[in-house]
Amino acid sequence: MNENRQSAMRLRRRQLLEAILALGVARLAPAAPVAAVAATAARAAEASALNGAEVKALFVGDPFAQASQRVIADLNRMAGGTISMQVVDFDSMHQKILLDAPSASPAFDVYSWEFSWLGEMVGANALRPLDDFVTRDAELLKIDDIPKANWDATLWKGKRYGIPVQPHAELTWWRTDLLAAAGLQPPKNTDELLAAAKVLNKPDDGVYGFLWKGGRGAPLGQTMVHAFAAFDQPAFPNWQSGNWMPALNTDNAVRATEWVKEMVQYAPPDYLNIAWDDEARRFAQGEAAMTFTWFGRESFFSDPTKSKIVGKYAAGPWPSAPGLSARNSFGGWVLGLPAHISPERAEIAWRFVRWYTSAPVERLLIENGNIDFPRISLIRDPALQKAHPVFKTVLELVDQDAFKAWIRAPVPEFVALTDLLGTTMQEMLIGGMTPKQACDKVQADMIVSLKRTGKLT
C-alpha cells in the first residue's frame, strides 16, 4: 500500500533531520550541564545498550514516562539507538496489554505493567518469563540495589516477569506547623490520626483535618483496602494456598470501615469527588492538615512556585491500628516483555530494560520529575535526599522492610474488589448503610463474583 512507501520516506526524512538536529543539540549541550553529566555517566556505565536498534515501548503516562519524554533526545543518545515510546492512560494500558501482549506478533517490545496485575498477566499468558536473562546478566542488573519488596513482587510461582521501573507507595503527610501549633506529635497509629484530624479540623479557617480520597471506584476502593490492611485484615487471606474465600466482613474489617467513616467527618465537603492527585494539589494549597498521597507527589509540595506549604510538611508511613507493626502498601510499574516476542527482538528489548532500569538512567529521570525509589542507592544519595527529603522516609521504610505485598494482592480479583469497595463504600459514606451492612454486602458480592469465575465453588 501507499502508506508503506510514505512511512519509509517519512523515516528517511526524519533520520536526516535528526542528524542535523543532533549537530545543533551538540552546540546547545553546555546549556544543560546536569543532563550532560548524567549522560556521560550513563554512557560509561552501559555502552550502547541498543547498538543502533529501535525499541518500541508502550508505557503508561506516569511520571517515569513523562520524564522520559522530556529527555528523549538524551535517552536516545545514551542508549545508542531509537526509543519509540507510546504513552497511554491507565485503562488503555491495561486493555492493550491484555489484548496485544499475548498475541503471536505483538506490536510492542516492552510493556509497563502494574504490580497488582501480575496474576492476571500470567493467566492471560501476556508476559515472557525473564529468568534466563536475569541469571545471565545478574551482575549488570545489580539486584541488591533493588528494594526487596519490589523485586519479590515480580515473581509469580517462581518465575520472574519484569524489572521494577517505578514503584511507588502511599504515605501519610502532615503539616508540621499546624501540628506544632496544636501541641501534637506526629500520629503513630489510627487512633492518633483520628484524634489529630479532629483537633486540626477548622473549616471556618479554611483548613480541614484530613484530605480524603473518596472518588468512586478505584480511588476509594484502594483507600479502603489500605484501611483494612491497617487493621490487619488482608482481603484474601489464603489466596496463595488456593483458598479464595474473602474476609471482608470480619471484626477487623468492620472496625476499619468505622474508622474511615469517622475520618471523613474531618474532610472537605466534596471529598467524594476527590480522586488521585487532587488531594496532593489541595494539600499543597494548604487546604488540610493531613492527607494520604503517593510519595512522588512531594514535588507538588517542595516547589516554592507551586506550593504554599514549602518546608512545613513531613511524611510517614500509613498508620496501623494501635499495637500493630508498620505496614505500607506499595504499587507501581514494572517493565516486561510480551510472551511471544521473537528471540532477536527479545534480546534488544531486554538490553533496553536492563539499561533503562539501571541507576544512572533512573537518576536522570528522577532529576526530570520522576520521584521514585527503584534503586536503593538513589534514595541513599545525599544530594538527592537534600533535593527530596521524602527519600529519607522511604529509605527508613525500605530498611524496616515495611513494604508488604500482601496488602495489594496481585490477583485479577483485586480490580473487582476495588471496584466493589469503591461503589458500596461510597453508598455507606453518603448514609445509605451502616459500616457493618456495607462490609457484609461487599463480602457477599465478592463471593458471588468469585463463584462466577470458578475460584469458589
Residues 166-185 that bind another protein (CB under 8 A): 168
CA distance 440 to 371: 39
Instruction: Cell numbers for 396, please give them.
Output: 527508613
Q: Are 260 and 180 a contacting pair, CB within 8 Å? A: no
Instruction: Cell numbers for 230, please give them.
Output: 491497617
Find the binding residues for another protein in span 274-313 (CB under 8 A). 275-278, 280-282, 284-285, 287, 294, 296-297, 300, 303, 305-307
What is the nearest approach in angstroms of another protein to the Cβ of residue 205? 15
Q: Is 160 an interacting residue with respect to another protein (CB under 8 A)?
A: no
Find the binding residues for another protein in span 70-109 (CB under 8 A). 70-74, 76, 82, 84-92, 94-96, 98-100, 102-103, 107-108
What is the nearest approach in angstroms of another protein to the Cβ of residue 217? 6
The alpha-carbon radius of gyration of the chain (Å, integer) is 23
Among 215, 336, 374, 435, binds another protein (CB under 8 A): 215
Q: How many residues does the chain have?
A: 457
Which C-beta is closer to another protein: that of 323 or that of 431? 431
Residue 374-413 contact track with another protein, rule CB under 8 A, x = bound: --------------------------------------x-
Which C-beta is closer to another protein: that of 141 or that of 315? 315
Which C-beta is closer to another protein: that of 231 or that of 373? 373
Q: Is 367 an interacting residue with respect to another protein (CB under 8 A)?
A: no
90: Cβ–Cβ under 8 A, 6 or more apart, which residues?
60, 61
Q: Are 228 and 329 a contacting pair, CB within 8 Å? A: no
Q: Is 132 an interacting residue with respect to another protein (CB under 8 A)?
A: no
Instruction: Cell numbers for 296, please give them.
Output: 512522588
Residue type at 330 in one-letter notation: F
- Indicate the SS3 state at residue 455: coil
CA distance 57 to 352: 10
What is the nearest approach in angstroms of another protein to the Cβ of residue 447? 15
- Please report, in angstroms and rounded to a whole number, the separation of the first and last CA atoms in the chain: 53
Q: How far from chain centre, in Å, is Cα 394?
A: 14
Which C-beta is closer to another protein: that of 124 or that of 314? 124
Residue type at 314 in one-letter notation: A
283: Cβ–Cβ under 8 A, 6 or more apart, which residues?
173, 211, 291, 293, 300, 301, 309, 313
The Cβ of residue 157 has, within 10 Å, a number of other Cβ atoms equal to 7
Residue 220-259 contact track with another protein, rule CB under 8 A, x = bound: ----------------------------------------
Q: Is 162 an interacting residue with respect to another protein (CB under 8 A)?
A: no
Which C-beta is closer to another protein: that of 235 or that of 321? 235
What is the nearest approach in angstroms of another protein to the Cβ of residue 445? 10
Which C-beta is closer to another protein: that of 81 or that of 187? 81
Q: Are 422 and 221 a contacting pair, CB within 8 Å? A: yes
What is the nearest approach in angstroms of another protein to the Cβ of residue 7? 7
Among 247, 416, 447, 456, binds another protein (CB under 8 A): 416
Q: Is 264 an interacting residue with respect to another protein (CB under 8 A)?
A: no
What is the nearest approach in angstroms of another protein to the Cβ of residue 286? 10
Q: Is 271 an interacting residue with respect to another protein (CB under 8 A)?
A: yes
CA distance 449 to 363: 43
Q: Is 46 an interacting residue with respect to another protein (CB under 8 A)?
A: no
Number of residues that bind another protein (CB under 8 A): 95
Residue type at 132 in one-letter notation: D
227: Cβ–Cβ under 8 A, 6 or more apart, which residues?
256, 257, 259, 260
Among 80, 186, 217, 316, binds another protein (CB under 8 A): 217
